């Protein structure tokens, strides 16, 4: 079994010391009761829930998997009981509106709890995670009657939600969907017009299961008068069981699971083929406005998926450290460190330390970045100044593809490094490391592959509003460099950041100029550019972290503070230099990629 304890000390450092939660979030309208004491209590309880209830089911859930029997999906042993504990504890409605039974706590706190869940049982986390996305879409785009009827059930966890996008012939290119919606002349329980939904959706996470009494499917489909492409997509709510006007489940709707996928990882999460045959559904939002409504779910999900990579990486790191302390192999290069033992712990070896520090530096940097964006999500929603809300929304939009893509790439890399630290013992099931690798792999694929995230960054986010989104990141980084470049104590952190930031500025100009001339140039550079951007963003996090620690008087610094500074130095010296090779690859242009004739592959 893997080793895991919730990294609350690092979370609190990022939340309170780095991002000043009390001034930036707790002071927002509606969050007055979300004090530091409340947040700390919630985090302690979340850690207990995840470690005591979810972690013990992680390996058994992977080994047992979901079962598909006569059209019914059964989750692994213990999942129903754990879900009931989860829902009864109010965790489904942590950041939901109190008007619908939620606790109304900040989205930042939701971010943190999602990381803890993913660290302990990613498969379990997909069920409430999809429901939370459905809640967000309905809360923003549903009618008042729809919200009153459906949201309380999602909040209390008695019902769950999905998003049904993908079809056999289309994934990213949703304009190709064939699912149809035809008015049936009746009205739904909320009074809105009803439609007959017909089509097949695949890869639907949590599409069918036995955890809740009803499932609300949010389905993309096309009306008879739909224009071609994505402009003709509408969003419909299709319940598994039709809902009576009093809110209780009624007869079975025309939606059924046709099969579940047999997957590489997250085997306790049901990934379903869903068949809709004249199923009754209700329009969410305006006709042909489905993509806008669905992106409400997808953008939330993309940030959450980035946290999946972070969570799995943390578990891999803690497990690898515990193993490296205990595993005796060879002697330290400078002589025995444990002369009373037959060999030294592998923690003494430079290459093992390189792997562990790479994991630690990228994990803690990514967590700091996620906490920054989490606080900005709350600011974008609640700040009284419209200009500040817009600035926060811009930054969240810019950083969403970066957190999703880099967070999941980092998660897969870190879990693989964890296996490497274990050596052959990591490759077998006993220690649980190979499951982390398998579970981490999907996060680079769903909610838009990481290549799509890179295209979104260079094709949509950089040029939007004449570069306004980009300035939301560039300006604070530049201001930090200018404010601290003359401080000797910070020089080892600020100077590497300044050099890497200069590369990012030059690469941005190159991508913009070449992309206007030839879109394939931007496409060829996109993935390298996103990683370059992410590494610079993490360098900014580490420079801020170093500054924060250095403000603590020397005599008051704990082992945590000293380790934070040492890890910051490692990142700047051993990870950030990757920006040089990425910069060179970007400037190599599209020709080396596109020159090979198609029939030569």
Of 457, 454, 448, the C-alpha closest to 166 is: 448
Beta bridge partners of 239: 216
Q: Is 447 assigned a catalytic role? A: yes
Per the residue annotation, which of 280, 447, 492, 597 is the catalytic one? 447
Spatial distance between the Cα atoms of 588 and 378, rounded to a whole number of angstroms: 40
Residue 75 has, within 13 A of its CA and on its CB side, a CA count of 26
Residues 225-242 as b/e (b if ≥16 CB within 10 A, e otherwise) read ebeeebebbbbbbbbbbb
- The owner of tokens 């959706």 is 201
Query: Two tokens at 218?
Result: 């949010």
Q: Are the C-beta atoms of 234 and 219 separated by less than 8 Å?
A: no
Query: Two tokens at 308?
Result: 């999946």
Q: Are the C-beta atoms of 324 and 354 separated by less than 8 Å?
A: no
Q: Are the C-beta atoms of 87 and 277 separated by less than 8 Å?
A: no
Is the sign of the CA dihedral 10, 417, 442, 529 positive or negative?
positive
DSSP classification of residue 172: S
Spatial distance between the Cα atoms of 52 and 297, rounded to a whole number of angstroms: 30
> What contacts 24+ positions apart, CB below 8 Å, involve 494-498?
494/543, 496/539, 496/572, 496/573, 496/576, 497/536, 497/539, 497/540, 497/542, 497/543, 497/572, 497/576
User: What are the φ/ψ torsions at residue 285 (nearest 5 degrees)?
Assistant: 80, -160
Q: Annotated catalytic sites, by residue?
A: 447
């Amino acid at each position: 079994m893997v080793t895991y304890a919730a990294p609350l000390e690092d979370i609190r450092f990022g939340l309170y010391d780095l991002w000043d939660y009390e001034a930036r979030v707790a002071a927002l309208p509606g969050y007055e009761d979300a004090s530091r004491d409340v947040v700390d209590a919630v985090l302690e309880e979340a850690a207990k829930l995840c470690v005591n209830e979810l972690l013990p089911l992680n390996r058994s859930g992977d080994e047992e998997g979901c079962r598909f029997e006569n059209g019914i999906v059964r989750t692994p042993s213990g999942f129903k009981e754990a879900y009931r504990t989860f829902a009864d504890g109010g965790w489904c409605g942590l950041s939901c509106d109190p008007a619908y039974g939620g606790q109304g706590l900040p989205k930042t706190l939701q971010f943190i709890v999602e990381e803890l869940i993913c660290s302990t049982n990613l498969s379990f986390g997909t069920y409430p995670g999809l429901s939370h996305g459905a809640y967000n879409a309905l809360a923003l785009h549903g009618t008042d009657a729809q919200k009153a009827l459906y949201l309380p059930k999602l909040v209390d966890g008695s019902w769950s939600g999905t998003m049904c996008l993908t079809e056999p012939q289309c994934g990213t290119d949703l304009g190709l969907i064939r699912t149809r919606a035809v008015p049936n002349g009746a009205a739904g329980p909320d009074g809105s017009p009803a439609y007959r939904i017909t089509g097949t959706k695949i890869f639907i996470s949590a599409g069918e299961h036995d955890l809740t009494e009803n499932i609300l499917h949010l389905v993309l489909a096309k009306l008879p008068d739909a224009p071609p492409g994505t402009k003709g997509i509408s969003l419909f709510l299709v319940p598994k069981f039709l809902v009576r006007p009093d809110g209780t489940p009624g007869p079975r709707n025309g939606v059924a699971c046709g099969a579940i996928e047999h997957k590489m990882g997250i085997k306790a999460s049901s990934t379903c083929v869903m068949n809709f045959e004249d199923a009754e559904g209700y329009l969410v939002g305006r006709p042909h406005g489905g993509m806008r409504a669905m992106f409400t779910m997808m953008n939330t999900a993309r940030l959450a998926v980035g946290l999946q990579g972070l969570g799995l990486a943390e578990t891999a790191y803690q497990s690898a450290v515990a193993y490296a302390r205990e595993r005796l192999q060879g002697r330290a290069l400078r002589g025995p460190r444990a002369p009373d033992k037959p060999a030294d712990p592998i923690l003494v070896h430079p290459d093992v330390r390189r792997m562990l520090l790479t994991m630690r530096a990228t994990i803690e940097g990514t967590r700091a970045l996620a906490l920054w964006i989490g606080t900005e999500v709350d600011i974008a929603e609640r700040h009284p100044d419209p200009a500040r809300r817009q600035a926060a929304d811009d930054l969240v939009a810019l950083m969403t593809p970066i957190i999703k893509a880099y967070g999941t790439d980092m998660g897969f890399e870190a879990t693989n490094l964890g296996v490497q630290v274990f050596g052959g013992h990591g490759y077998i099931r006993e220690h649980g490391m190979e499951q982390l690798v398998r579970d981490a792999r999907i996060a680079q694929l769903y909610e838009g592959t990481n290549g799509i995230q890179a295209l979104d960054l260079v094709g949509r986010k950089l040029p939007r509003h004449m570069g306004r989104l980009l300035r939301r990141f560039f300006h604070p980084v530049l201001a930090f460099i200018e404010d601290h470049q003359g401080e000797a104590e910070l020089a080892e952190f600020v100077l590497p950041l300044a050099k890497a930031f200069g590369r990012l500025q030059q690469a941005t100009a190159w991508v913009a100029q070449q992309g206007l001339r030839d879109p394939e140039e931007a496409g060829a550079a996109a993935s390298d550019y996103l990683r370059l951007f992410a590494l610079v963003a993490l360098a900014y996090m580490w420079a801020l972290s170093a500054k924060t620690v250095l403000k603590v008087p020397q005599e008051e610094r704990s082992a945590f503070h000293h380790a934070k500074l040492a890890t910051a130095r490692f990142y700047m010296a051993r990870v950030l230099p990757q920006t040089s090779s990425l910069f060179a690859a970007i400037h190599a242009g599209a020709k080396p990629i596109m020159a090979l004739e198609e029939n030569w592959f």
